[in-house]
DNA sequence: AAGCTAAGTGCAATATTATTGCATTTATCT
DNA sequence: AGATAAATGCAATAATATTGCACTTAGCTT
């Protein structure tokens, strides 16, 4: 929900500006990884204009608040749909339609932490990304 | 091992050229994510020169053969240290010294596949990246 | 060992993506 | 409504990535 992201911006002392709302709306609507220039393009098609610098800065902010996430595949940005969690971001990406779905799995976190510990590594953050076919594209 | 990567190049019908060997050696030696220009810089310091276009093309090739991997964090490239596996790449990155370590865990794959399946998603590829502290940096 | 040839590299030009400083605008609080 | 710090737009610049083509080279074939 965009509304929820706006609330978080406020509680963190950031303004809920028009450009920020627009970027959040685009990410929420498209549900696919979008580059800063992709976002600019989508907005242009809606008759809106944002300078690319602004979009970069907004994405930086959203990522720092865990409200958005930069994907490995292609480097596009997506809106996080779960409660913002520092240091654990997991997504499934459909290689057919590009749709993304965020997920969380405490068991995975535990297993990963344990695995790392066994190798002398102390884990702070987890990222994972699956690619495959979403239910709609999988026949 | 660089030697092993060269063998794979050959079996796949690619030439083991001097530039390719140099890039492999740099990635193997540094063991940290390096951008194409980072690699060029390391080579320059050794008195070698590769055009950046060449480096881009070599990295593309190595990634397509699963001999190298482009990291999420910063987008740098690393040399894969395990047998090349299509579609499953896992790394730990030390946020202190930048060192990376590749790993594999069949149990993780299974759990991820199962988790995805429960959500109507058919998984083909897995990526994961932990960040934290390696044994040397963790006090 | 020399020659052949497809594959690979370097170069120059161009395109795309990202960053910075500063003047102007805007959201929020009085 | 007015004050003010924060955010945006703009222009310039920097960094990263891609393309076409001429030249070179690795690995084969005599
Ligand atoms: Mn976690
Ligand atoms: Mn796997
Ligand atoms: Zn799909
Ligand atoms: Zn370390």
Rounded Cα distance between B127 and B70, Å, is 11
Mutation test of the interface with chain A: which of B128, B133, B137, B139, choosing the one with the most A Cβ atoms within 10 A? B128
Mean per-residue pLDDT for B98-116? 93
Question: Of B42-51, B57-66, B106-115, which gets the smallest average pLDDT?
Answer: B106-115
Residues 100-129 of A with CB under 8 A from B: 101, 103, 105, 107-108, 111-112, 115-116, 119-129
Ranges A41-55, B75-89, B95-109, most confident = A41-55
- Mean pLDDT, all residues of chain A: 95
Break chain A into its structural domains and give their ranges: 2-79, 88-132
A75 CB within 8 Å of a chain B CB: yes
Residues 11-40 of B with CB under 8 A from A: none
Rounded Cα distance between B14 and B10, Å, is 5
Q: How confident is the model at residue A55 (pLDDT cuts 50, 70, 90)?
A: very high
Ranges A69-78, A99-108, A115-124, B13-22, most confident = B13-22
Mean per-residue pLDDT for B100-114? 93
Whether the per-residue pLDDT at A40 is higher than 90: the answer is yes
* Cβ contacts of B103 on chain A, cutoff 8 Å: 115, 119
> Nearest residue of B to residue A125 by CA position?
B131
Architecture category of domain A88-132 in CATH? 2-Layer Sandwich (3.30)
What percentage of chain B has pLDDT greater than the value 70? 100
pTM: 0.93
Strand D closer than 7 Å to the CB of B17? Answer: yes
pLDDT at B74: 76
Rounded Cα distance between B25 and B33, Å, is 13
Rounded Cα distance between B99 and A116, Å, is 14
Whether the per-residue pLDDT at B72 is higher than 90: the answer is no
Whether the per-residue pLDDT at A72 is higher than 90: the answer is no
Q: How confident is the model at residue B75 (pLDDT cuts 50, 70, 90)?
A: confident
Give CATH for domain B2-79.
1.10.10.10
Quick one: residue B106, left, alpha or beta (phi over 0 = left, psi -120 to 50 = alpha)? alpha
Strand D closer than 7 Å to the CB of A17? Answer: yes
Rounded Cα distance between B57 and A67, Å, is 35
Q: Which nucleotides of C are covered by protein (CB under 7 A)?
A: 7-13, 16-21, 26-28
Do the domains B88-132 and B2-79 match in fold? no
Tokens 């057919």 correspond to A96
pLDDT at B87: 87
pLDDT at B57: 98
Residue B9 in contact with residue B65, Cβ under 8 Å?
A: yes
SS3 content of chain B, % helix, strand, coil (to 5): 40, 20, 35
DSSP letters along B5-72, please?
Answer: HHHHHHHTT----HHHHHHHHHHHHH-S-B-HHHHHHHHHHTT----HHHHHHHHHHHHHTTSEEE-S
What pLDDT, in 10s, does the model give residues B20-34? 999 999 999 999 999
């Amino acid at each position: 929900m965009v509304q929820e992201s706006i609330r978080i911006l406020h509680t963190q002392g950031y303004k809920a500006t028009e450009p920020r709302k627009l970027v959040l709306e685009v990410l929420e609507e498209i549900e696919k990884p979008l580059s800063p220039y992709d976002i600019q393009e989508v907005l242009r098609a809606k008759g809106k204009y944002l300078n690319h610098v602004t979009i970069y800065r907004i994405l930086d902010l959203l990522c720092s608040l865990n409200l958005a996430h930069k994907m490995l595949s292609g480097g596009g940005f997506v809106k996080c749909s779960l409660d913002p969690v520092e240091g654990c971001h997991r997504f499934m990406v459909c290689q057919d339609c590009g749709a993304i779905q965020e997920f969380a799995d405490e068991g995975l976190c535990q297993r990963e932490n344990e695995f790392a510990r066994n190798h002398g590594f102390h884990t702070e953050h987890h990222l994972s990304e699956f690619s495959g076919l979403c239910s709609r594209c999988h026949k």
